[in-house]
């Protein structure tokens, strides 16, 4: 790696819930710098979750993130002219980053409904332990398990 790594930026908590995790979700949802649009989308999504599940949307959101975040992932490692997929444990920040990414990717791939509804459905499914984001996490875990023989290259 050349040069210095970029310093970690502190992000402010979101205005409504005063929660850093929701602020990060808003930043991930945001496109072309339109933060107010992203905020209204996420808050609308939380209203849908509250209406459908009759639970606190924050709890559903945190459960969904906990369910989606992976414990292991594979990283490519070149050893003696061959590339091996080496299973590695996932650090805390990367777990959350992958969870956000997979939930949003799954929501964006659904068709025919407003984004707030798609995101709400994906978060509710992930909180129950089902849905496309959970499937993605299971695929990553399965890949790491299949390549366990190369763990000694880590």
- Residue 137, pLDDT score: 96
24 is a domain residue: no
- Residue 58, pLDDT score: 94
**Is 150 a residue whose pLDDT tops 90?**
no
Q: What is the pLDDT of residues 61-115, one digit of tens each?
A: 999 999 999 999 999 988 888 898 899 999 989 999 999 999 999 999 999 999 9
**Is 154 a residue whose pLDDT tops 80?**
no
77 is a domain residue: yes
- Residue 84, pLDDT score: 87
CATH number, position 64: 1.10.455.10
28 is a domain residue: no
38 is a domain residue: no
Q: How far is CA 85 from CA 5, 82, 88, 90, 149, in A?
A: 25, 10, 9, 14, 10
16 is a domain residue: no
Domain count, the chain: 1
- Residue 149, pLDDT score: 87
- Residue 79, pLDDT score: 85
Packed helices 115-128 and 57-68: angle between N→C axes, nearest 10 degrees:
70
As a whole number, mean pLDDT of residues 53-67 equals 94
- pTM assigned to the model: 0.91
On whether the CB atoms of residues 118 and 108 are closer than 8 A, the answer is yes
41 is a domain residue: no
- Residue 65, pLDDT score: 95
DSSP 88: E
- Residue 29, pLDDT score: 95
Note down the domain range covering 65: 56-153
117 is a domain residue: yes
17 is a domain residue: no
């Amino acid at each position: 790696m050349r040069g210095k790594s970029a310093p970690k930026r502190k992000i402010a908590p979101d205005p409504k819930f005063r929660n850093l995790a929701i602020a990060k979700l808003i930043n991930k949802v945001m496109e072309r710098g339109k933060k107010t649009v992203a905020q209204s989308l996420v808050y609308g999504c939380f209203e849908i979750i509250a209406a459908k599940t009759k639970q606190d949307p924050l709890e559903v959101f945190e459960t969904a993130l906990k369910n989606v975040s992976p414990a292991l992932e594979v990283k490519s490692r070149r050893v003696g002219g061959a590339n091996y997929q080496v299973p590695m444990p996932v650090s805390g920040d990367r777990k959350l980053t992958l969870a956000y990414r997979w939930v949003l990717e799954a929501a964006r791939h659904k068709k025919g409904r407003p984004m707030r509804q798609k995101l709400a459905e994906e978060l509710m499914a992930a909180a129950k332990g089902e849905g496309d984001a959970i499937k993605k996490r299971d695929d990553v875990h399965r890949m790491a398990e299949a390549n366990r023989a190369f763990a000694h290259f880590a």
